């Protein structure tokens, strides 16, 4: 641990390590490329998240937070984040945006218009704060991902230590002329702080050959650290944001098997299907049958063989799931169904083969109190902090939870402990068993590890019998209740309204 780590932070780390389950070797030292499927990423919007240093903040920004977020606030939150079962942290950009040099300080606060890629934004903290954050996260068993704005910038970018600068227009840099600069950025933070990977903002701004070059440079830097005996900074994970339909995600992020780009990109198509089933999407389309989830999975057939999508429920550009539930006309936090819908959505993420990302606040069912679905730009949504594309940039918290919020957090902890313990969930093959109006069942399997994920999206109790699915011979035990179900005895599985079950296959009897 870095020698400048505070005593308080050190004690927090030790306490968290005492109360958390020990990470297995595969969790800590997953090999490169496809074995980043085990990642459970927690995303924070830095300027909005938490105020840990009163001297550092923007005090302005988009959304309805206090805009006092900083690195110290994140450092203080790390034990809490780890306690949820997360094993990775993604920070929105923390590089110097040249505060006060532009026409709109709200844009500078986002971090998505950097000016100096080799300096930490003083509004967020110092280089040493960033080092402490990374070292503390690593001490807790968490990877750290930085956010790479590699297709645009603020303008008049400060040259790199080697004298490189990006070429072309600030709104869209030129390629391949900008490649030396962004390669240096990508590898500098791995070399100096030991970060574990990158999220590429608007990855469609980077041509596929350049994505491959950047990914390979990151992989090489990570592998160099691995060969030097380093434990961290060796993962080299890269995930791209291409906020488009599946064919364009394939085109702009993944490339094809002959000319691959990235290995991982956010799974927007499946995310939209998920919220359409349990709530509505941002434009109001929803109330869909559970069978739509299988349609969402079928979009993966449009991707090349090397693609490993990363599934999320929300992010800093999307409306919070709690508000989408209410936009659908369903009750808010005062109703138990609000919390059940969250459990179903988060359980679906836990059953996904591939990396998953949780946006801060989702683990306690966050919503924006008083958020009006009728607010539009003409109504002054920017001034009110209630526009759809930034309304989720609200203050985060690590204490002061209601009993319902605590119950959802504990459910998340159980979910992610289950996911970490069962490779069938995070890297298993998937066979859909049932996709109807209200019932969705997948069989997940990896080697001898097999689990049935079952979800009921109606508000009424549904019953099913495992005997109806040909080929199921083993007994299955409910992961949470411990109840045993034997297909040969035709024991019914009861799914209350808006609930999920994880049924774990018992070891086969070879006698």
* Tens digit of each residue's pLDDT (9 = 90 or more) over 447-458: 999 999 999 999
**Residue 442 phi, psi (nearest 5):** -120, 140
Q: What's the pLDDT score for residue 190?
A: 98
Q: What's the pLDDT score for residue 14?
A: 39
Contact 91, 74 (CB under 8 A): yes
Domain contains 255 = no
Q: What's the pLDDT score for residue 34?
A: 55
Domain contains 492 = yes
Q: What's the pLDDT score for residue 389?
A: 94
Domain contains 310 = no
Question: For residue 413, how many C-alpha atoms fall within 13 Å in the half-sphere facing its CB?
Answer: 15
Q: What's the pLDDT score for residue 66?
A: 96
Number of domains in the chain: 1
- In sequence order, what are the residues at sequence separation of 6 or more whose Cβ sits closer than 8 angstroms to the Cβ of residue 290? 277, 435, 436, 437, 438, 439, 440, 455, 457
Contact 345, 321 (CB under 8 A): yes
Report whether pLDDT(355) > 80. yes
Distances from the Cα of 291 to the Cαs of 7, 285, 343, 421, 477, in angstroms? Answer: 52, 16, 18, 28, 25
Q: How many angstroms separate the CA atoms of 329 and 341, rounded?
A: 13
pTM: 0.93
**Residue 63 phi, psi (nearest 5):** 95, 180
Q: What's the pLDDT score for residue 146?
A: 98
Report whether pLDDT(9) > 60. no
* Tens digit of each residue's pLDDT (9 = 90 or more) over 198-223: 999 999 999 999 999 999 999 999 99
**Residue 52 phi, psi (nearest 5):** -110, -15
Domain contains 482 = yes
Binned at pLDDT 50, 70 and 90, residue 98 comes out as very high
| Range 471-494 average pLDDT | 92
Binned at pLDDT 50, 70 and 90, residue 381 comes out as confident
Report whether pLDDT(436) > 60. yes
Higher pLDDT pick, 371 / 439: 439
Q: What's the pLDDT score for residue 372?
A: 62
Q: What's the pLDDT score for residue 378?
A: 63
Q: What is the CATH number of the domain that holds 493?
A: 2.60.40.1180
**Residue 4 phi, psi (nearest 5):** -95, 5
Q: What's the pLDDT score for residue 57?
A: 95
Q: What's the pLDDT score for residue 354?
A: 97
* Tens digit of each residue's pLDDT (9 = 90 or more) over 279-302: 999 999 999 999 999 999 999 999
Give the closest residue to 406 by CA, choosing from 414, 13, 14.
414
| Range 22-30 average pLDDT | 37
Q: How many angstroms separate the CA atoms of 385 and 387, rounded?
A: 6
Q: How many angstroms separate the CA atoms of 150 and 240, rounded?
A: 11
Domain contains 226 = no
Domain that holds residue 500: 431-505
pLDDT cut 70: percent of the chain above it: 91
Give the range among 22-36, 274-288, 484-498 with minimum mean pLDDT: 22-36
| Range 315-319 average pLDDT | 97
Domain contains 493 = yes
Domain contains 439 = yes
* Tens digit of each residue's pLDDT (9 = 90 or more) over 382-435: 888 889 999 999 999 999 999 999 999 999 999 999 999 999 999 999 999 999
Domain contains 460 = yes
């Amino acid at each position: 641990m870095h020698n400048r780590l505070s005593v308080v932070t050190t004690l927090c780390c030790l306490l968290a390590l005492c109360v958390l389950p020990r990470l297995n070797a595969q969790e800590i030292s997953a090999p490169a490329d496809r074995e980043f499927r085990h990642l459970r990423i927690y995303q924070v919007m830095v300027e909005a998240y938490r105020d840990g240093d009163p001297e550092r903040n923007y005090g302005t920004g988009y959304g309805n937070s206090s805009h006092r977020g900083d690195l110290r606030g994140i450092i203080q939150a790390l034990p809490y984040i780890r306690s949820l079962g997360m094993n990775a942290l993604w920070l929105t950009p923390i590089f110097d945006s040249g505060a006060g040099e532009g026409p709109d300080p709200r844009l500078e606060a986002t971090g998505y218009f950097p000016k100096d890629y080799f300096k930490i934004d003083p509004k967020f903290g110092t280089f040493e704060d960033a080092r402490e954050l990374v070292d503390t996260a690593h001490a807790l068993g968490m990877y750290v991902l930085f956010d790479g704005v590699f297709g645009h910038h603020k303008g008049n970018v400060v040259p790199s230590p080697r004298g490189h600068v990006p070429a072309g227009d600030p709104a869209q840099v030129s390629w391949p002329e900008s490649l030396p600069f962004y390669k240096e950025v990508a590898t500098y933070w791995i070399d100096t702080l030991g970060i574990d990977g990158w999220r590429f903002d608007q990855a469609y701004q980077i041509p596929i050959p350049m994505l491959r070059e950047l990914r390979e440079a990151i992989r090489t830097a990570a592998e160099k650290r691995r060969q030097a005996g380093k434990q961290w900074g060796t993962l080299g994970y890269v995930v791209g944001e291409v906020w488009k339909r599946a064919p364009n995600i394939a085109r702009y992020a993944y490339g094809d098997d002959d000319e691959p780009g990235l290995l991982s990109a956010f799974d927007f198509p499946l995310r939209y299907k998920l919220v359409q089933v349990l709530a509505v999407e941002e434009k109001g389309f929803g109330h869909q049958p559970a069978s739509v989830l299988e349609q969402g999975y079928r979009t993966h057939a449009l991707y090349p063989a090397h693609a490993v999508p990363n599934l999320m429920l929300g992010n800093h550009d999307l409306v919070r799931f709690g508000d989408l539930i209410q936009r659908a006309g369903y009750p808010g936090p005062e109703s138990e169904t609000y919390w059940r819908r969250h459990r179903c959505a988060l359980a679906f993420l836990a059953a996904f083969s591939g990396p998953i990302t949780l946006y801060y606040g989702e683990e306690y069912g966050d919503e924006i109190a008083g958020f009006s679905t009728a607010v539009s730009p003409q109504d002054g949504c920017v001034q009110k902090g209630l526009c759809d594309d930034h309304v989720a940039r609200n203050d985060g918290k690590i204490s002061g939870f209601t009993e319902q919020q605590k119950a959802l957090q504990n459910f998340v902890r159980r979910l992610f402990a289950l996911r970490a313990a069962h490779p069938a969930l995070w890297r298993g093959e998937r066979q859909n068993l049932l996709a109807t109006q209200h019932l969705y069942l997948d069989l997940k399997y990896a080697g001898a590890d097999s689990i049935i994920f079952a979800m009921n999206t109606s508000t009424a109790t549904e019953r099913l019998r495992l005997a109806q699915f040909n080929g199921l011979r083993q007994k299955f035990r409910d992961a949470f209740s411990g109840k045993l179900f034997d297909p040969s005895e035709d024991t019914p599985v009861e799914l209350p309204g808006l609930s999920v079950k994880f049924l774990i296959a018992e070891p086969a009897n070879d006698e």
